[in-house]
Amino acid sequence: MQPILEARGICKSFGALRAVQDLTFSVNAGEILGMIGPNGAGKTTAVNLISGTARPDAGEVRLAGERVTGMAAHRLVRRGLVRTFQSTTVYGERTVWQNIYRGTFTQSYTGFWSSVMGGAAYRHQRERTVERVERLLADLRLDDVRDTQARHLPYGRQKALGIAVALASAPKLVLLDEPAAGLSAEEADRVAEIIKKVRETEVSVVVIDHNMRFIAQLCHRVVVLHHGAELCIGTPREVTSNPLVIEAYLGADHEPA
């Protein structure tokens, strides 16, 4: 079966710093792929290159077979690739409902005139969008805080909201940049449950993190990055027992997953 995402030999340098070097990997439909590595390994740069936030110096990115290298982020969202960010995850001043509604933009926006004049297409789409927002609120257990400003939510629920906003665009693939960063173990487990639920809806997921425990419990396969290059790729067990990974990242006293 054709992979949902293919990155072939993507490279990015900032001056003399080679942030990502010749990175090749693919994500299969319905798969959760982990991307892991120490700080400065190039994880976020790799996500930026795939999601259209930055343009690769070389290499190619394909989404469901279509070449999308360097395509603007909002066009990629329309094609089904959406991402979350490490820090900026939600519109703090807006309610939970409004945040998710904004996430539906590619689904609900019917064009300038239609949206301003409130035409029939807009009204029809609006009803479907409201249903979609309500379903996401229920699925991600956010309906009790629907009218709460996002900045007043606990950090763990802000992360859950960030995922809900990403899912609102009906994506084929979601890139989650450190969804468990700054969370307690309990909160991280809750986010992991949400991500597993996302996969059940046939959405593929790429999770970027540096917490091996979090990644190992979630992912089918893991890519390990080191100094911007791929160190190894495999199942969590294969990766955690790989001597190169142990030496470069995990440390000698690490227990395999």
* Range 238-241 contact pairs with CB under 8 angstroms and sequence separation of 24 or more: 239/36, 240/212, 240/216
In whole angstroms, what is the distance from residue 6 CA to residue 184 CA? 33
Count other C-beta atoms under 10 Å from residue 120's C-beta: 10
Instruction: Note whether 208 binds another protein by CB under 8 A.
Output: no
Instruction: Note whether 172 binds another protein by CB under 8 A.
Output: no
Minimum distance between the CB of residue 158 and another protein, rounded to whole angstroms? 12
String of b and e for 155-192 (b: at least 16 CB within 10 Å)? ebbbbbbbbbbbbbbebbbbbbbbbbbebeeebbbbbb
Instruction: Note whether 1 binds another protein by CB under 8 A.
Output: no
With respect to another protein, which residue has the nearer C-beta, 95 or 235? 95
The single residue among 62, 141, 146, 213 that binds another protein, judged by CB under 8 A, is: 146
With respect to another protein, which residue has the nearer C-beta, 22 or 134? 134
Instruction: Note whether 105 binds another protein by CB under 8 A.
Output: yes
Nearest residue to 172 via CA among 129, 205, 125: 205
Instruction: Note whether 3 binds another protein by CB under 8 A.
Output: no
* Coil, helix or strand at residue 131: helix
Number of residues that bind another protein (CB under 8 A): 41
* Coil, helix or strand at residue 257: coil
Structure token digits, residue 11 = 């490279």
Among positions 36-55, residues that touch another protein (CB under 8 A) are 51, 53
Instruction: Note whether 122 binds another protein by CB under 8 A.
Output: yes
Instruction: Note whether 101 binds another protein by CB under 8 A.
Output: yes
**Taking every pair of C-alpha atoms in the chain, what is the biggest distance, in angstroms?**
64
Minimum distance between the CB of residue 126 and another protein, rounded to whole angstroms? 5
Minimum distance between the CB of residue 180 and another protein, rounded to whole angstroms? 19
Minimum distance between the CB of residue 169 and another protein, rounded to whole angstroms? 6
Q: Look up tokens 């001043």; give the residue.
A: 93
Minimum distance between the CB of residue 14 and another protein, rounded to whole angstroms? 19
With respect to another protein, which residue has the nearer C-beta, 17 or 120? 120
Instruction: Note whether 13 binds another protein by CB under 8 A.
Output: no
Asked whether the CA dihedral 153, 155, 157, 161 is positive or negative, the reply is positive
Structure token digits, residue 33 = 């792929």
Among positions 56-95, residues that touch another protein (CB under 8 A) are 72-74, 77-78, 82-85, 88-95
Instruction: Note whether 128 binds another protein by CB under 8 A.
Output: no
Contact 142, 120 (CB under 8 A): no
Binding site for another protein (CB under 8 A): 51, 53, 72-74, 77-78, 82-85, 88-95, 97-98, 101-103, 105-106, 108-109, 112, 115-118, 122-123, 126, 146-147, 165-166, 169
